[in-house]
A = this chain, B = another copy of it.
Amino acid sequence: MNVFDRLESSVCSYARSFPVTFGKAQGATLWDTRGRAYIDFLAGAGTLNYGHNHPLLKEALVEYIAGDGIAHGLDFHTEAKETFLESLDARIFAPRGLHYVVQFTGPTGTNAVEAALKIARNVTGRQNVVAFTNGFHGVSLGAAAATGNDLHRSAAGFPLLGVTRALFDAYLGPDIDTIDVLDRLLEDRSSGVDAPAAAIVETVQGEGGLNVASARWLQRLESLCRRHGMLLIVDDIQAGCGRTGTFFSFERIGISPDIVTLSKSLSGYGLPLAVVLMKPEFDQWKPGEHNGTFRGNNHAFVTARAALEHFWRDDALTREVDRKAELLADGFAHIAARHEGVVVKGRGMMQGLAFGSGALAETVARQAFSRGLVIETSGAEGQVLKCLCPLVIDDAELTRALEIIERATQVALEVPERLPNPERPLKKVG
């Protein structure tokens, strides 16, 4: 029995979908230990926007390590953090006219979400928080309460409290503006919905199935938050760092979140890093109130800085992503046009195909994997095949991947239900 079977918990999920052992990686390519190459359309569940082991970032990191730069720094002031903050300011905040204070939390998305919820609750003195259908915000107890997926919810073994569920954009179809529903509940003094501290929202729900919130809906959400004394928290952990073209997913939408959570691709190299950005007036933390051993992961600061300096000094990456997003949209539209019931979803380089069932999407993903493409599903039933390829993927790989998906779809739909429909499709979430 191999060491994984012997020693690793049954909680693993990706390892089941891709039953090989990976060794090396570069750009958009993964190699297993037998030397087989795969195009990576998962990219660490959106953590590798700049691809695996980007040479410039690698160089900066190796140099830092070689020079005995501090690896672990708690919340110390360190050179690596200083230069990261300077780059964040110069490359991201300043050009966008943003004024945020940065909190380094434990280096995981869920930890950033936990901190964001605490801020909102403490600043407003309210305990309720609005989260949306199909949202995913993490699985620690506070964040899990905001997460919609019942696999994660029921795993808590304790009721998930303090969150009122609201309806995401278009949840009831195109004719009902779900902001009106929330507004009605908040206006109504006997609706039974307690005044919320905040609304936490993803502009594109990655795990929820590539559901896109429209600009107008997000603008109305912001306005509702202002009207009801709530903070607006954008969880940009998966959609941020350029995934939708701009650095923040909300830049073109014209909203001004009070709090933003970032993680995943922030370090640029797949290293653990997470931050909460908050408007200065909400930085009411007392020293040490929210802490965590690894909030000073200086290796991540080094690669994060290098990524900011390389990719965000101009709008080249944004234009690149916009262009490839169109390629993806076209490619998916082409497939969808040929197969009834297949629908294109998402925006930017966070697009995919919704199939009629989780079993079908799963078959497509497995067929794709057998053809050398690592790709996953998302959505409540795992029914959405989701492309999260590196933004820096080259066009040839992108085209090749689309061909594989097309072929896999064809095979899956021609031989329907070749796989047993699992009573409970596995959810694989980054």
- Interface check A16, CB cutoff 8 A: yes
Q: Summarize A's interface: helix, strand, loop or mixed.
A: loop
B3 near A293 with CB under 8 A, answer no
Listed by A's residue number, 19 A-B pairs whose Cβ atoms lie within 8 Å are A4-B81, A6-B89, A7-B89, A7-B100, A8-B85, A9-B101, A11-B283, A22-B78, A44-B72, A45-B293, A118-B156, A133-B188, A140-B143, A150-B190, A150-B195, A155-B289, A158-B159, A271-B294, A292-B430
A25-B68 CB under 8 A given contacts A110-B292, A139-B292: yes
Digitize A117-149: 1 where CB-to-B-CB distance is under 8 Å, 0 elsewhere: 110111000011001111110111111011111
B165 near A193 with CB under 8 A, answer yes
Inside 8 A of A122's CB, which chain B residues have their CB? 155, 157
A292 near B138 with CB under 8 A, answer yes
- Interface check A161, CB cutoff 8 A: yes
State how many angstroms separate the Cβ of A93 from the closest Cβ of chain B. Answer: 8
Inside 8 A of A108's CB, which chain B residues have their CB? 106-108, 111, 292-294
A106 near B102 with CB under 8 A, answer no
- Interface check A69, CB cutoff 8 A: yes
State how many angstroms separate the Cβ of A258 from the closest Cβ of chain B. Answer: 14
A13-B73 CB under 8 A given contacts A58-B65, A82-B21: no
Oligomer copy total: 4
Residue of B nearest to A30 (CB): B70
Sorted nearest first, the 7 A-B pairs with minimum C-beta distance are A72-B270, A121-B157, A141-B142, A148-B192, A13-B288, A11-B285, A140-B140
A149-B20 CB under 8 A given contacts A271-B297, A288-B428: no
Residue of B nearest to A303 (CB): B71
Inside 8 A of A61's CB, which chain B residues have their CB? 65
A9 near B102 with CB under 8 A, answer yes
Within 8 A of B (CB), among A273-305: 276, 278, 283-294, 297, 299
Within 8 A of B (CB), among A173-203: 176, 180-181, 184-185, 188-195, 197
Digitize A44-88: 1 where CB-to-B-CB distance is under 8 Å, 0 elsewhere: 110110001100001001100111111111111111011001101
A114 near B134 with CB under 8 A, answer no
A141 near B141 with CB under 8 A, answer yes
- Interface check A18, CB cutoff 8 A: yes
A110 near B111 with CB under 8 A, answer yes
Tell which of B118, B152, B163, B272 touches A291, judged by Cβ atoms closer than 8 Å. Answer: B152
- Interface check A318, CB cutoff 8 A: no
A197 near B157 with CB under 8 A, answer yes
A164 near B161 with CB under 8 A, answer no
- Interface check A379, CB cutoff 8 A: yes
Inside 8 A of A345's CB, which chain B residues have their CB? none
A288 near B11 with CB under 8 A, answer yes
A22 near B291 with CB under 8 A, answer no
